[in-house]
Homo-oligomer: A and B are copies of this chain.
Amino acid sequence: MVKITGIAFDPWEELSSFQTAMKREGEYGACANFVGTMRDMNEGDVVNGMFLEHYPGMTEKHLEKIVQAAKEQWDILETLVIHRVGELLPNDPIVLVAVWSAHRKDAFEASRFIMEDLKSKAPFWKKESLESTGQTAEKNRWVEKNTSGY
C-alpha cells in the first residue's frame, strides 16, 4: 500500500494496524522497516519547520512503480509506504517504508532499495524554515539535493 498524507502519522500505529489488516499470520518471518523523521538541525542551521511539496499523481505512480520493481527482485509478501506532505514540524515522521517477507534477506534488501529509490527519484521537495539569527530574520531554503544512502 502507498499513502501520501497531509496529516501527521504515527509509524508504529500504522505498522500495527496494517500488519493486523493484512492477515498474513504465520506466513511472515521478517519485517524490515525504516522511518525517516524531521530533525531540528540541517547543515549547521536550526530548522523550525518544513514544507514538503510533491507532484500529485506522479508521486503515487512512481512509488507504486518502485514497489513493483522490488517485488520483481525479492520474495515479498506485503509492503507499506507512507509519505507526509505539507507543513511539518521537527520530530514529525516524514516517511515509512516497511516490507514483510518469509525470510529476512528479502525484507532487509527490499526496504532499503525502496527507500533509496524514493529518496533519489520520487517527486517530493523540501523547503526548510530556518531559525532567525541576530542579523537575519527567519528565512526559507529549498533543500538542494538528497545525499546517497549507500
The residue of chain B having its C-beta at the shortest distance from the C-beta of A91 within the complex is B25
> Is there a chain B Cβ closer than 8 Å to A144's Cβ?
no
Residues of B within 8 A of A37 (CB): 28-31
Q: Report the interface size for chain A: residues with CB under 8 A from the other chain.
A: 38
The residue of chain B having its C-beta at the shortest distance from the C-beta of A147 within the complex is B103
Of the A-B pairs whose beta carbons lie under 8 Å apart in the complex, a sample of 9, sorted by A's number, is: A10-B16, A26-B41, A27-B40, A30-B37, A31-B34, A33-B34, A39-B102, A103-B147, A105-B150
Residues of B within 8 A of A35 (CB): 30-31, 33
> Is there a chain B Cβ closer than 8 Å to A72's Cβ?
no
Min Cβ gap A53→B in Å is 19
> Is there a chain B Cβ closer than 8 Å to A38's Cβ?
yes
Q: Evaluate contact between B38 and A29: CB separation under 8 angstroms.
A: yes
Among the listed stretches A61-69, A107-115, A131-139, which one makes contact with chain B, having 4 or more residues with CB under 8 Å of it? A107-115
Residues of chain A in range 92-112 having any CB-CB distance to chain B below 8 Å: 102-105, 107-108, 111-112
> A interface vs B, CB < 8 Å?
10, 12-13, 15-16, 19, 25-41, 90-91, 102-105, 107-108, 111-112, 115, 119, 147, 149-150
User: CA–CA, A82 to B108, complex, Å?
Assistant: 18
Q: Evaluate contact between A104 and B149: CB separation under 8 angstroms.
A: yes
User: CA–CA, A147 to B30, complex, Å?
Assistant: 14
Q: Evaluate contact between B29 and A32: CB separation under 8 angstroms.
A: no
Residues of B within 8 A of A149 (CB): 103-105, 108
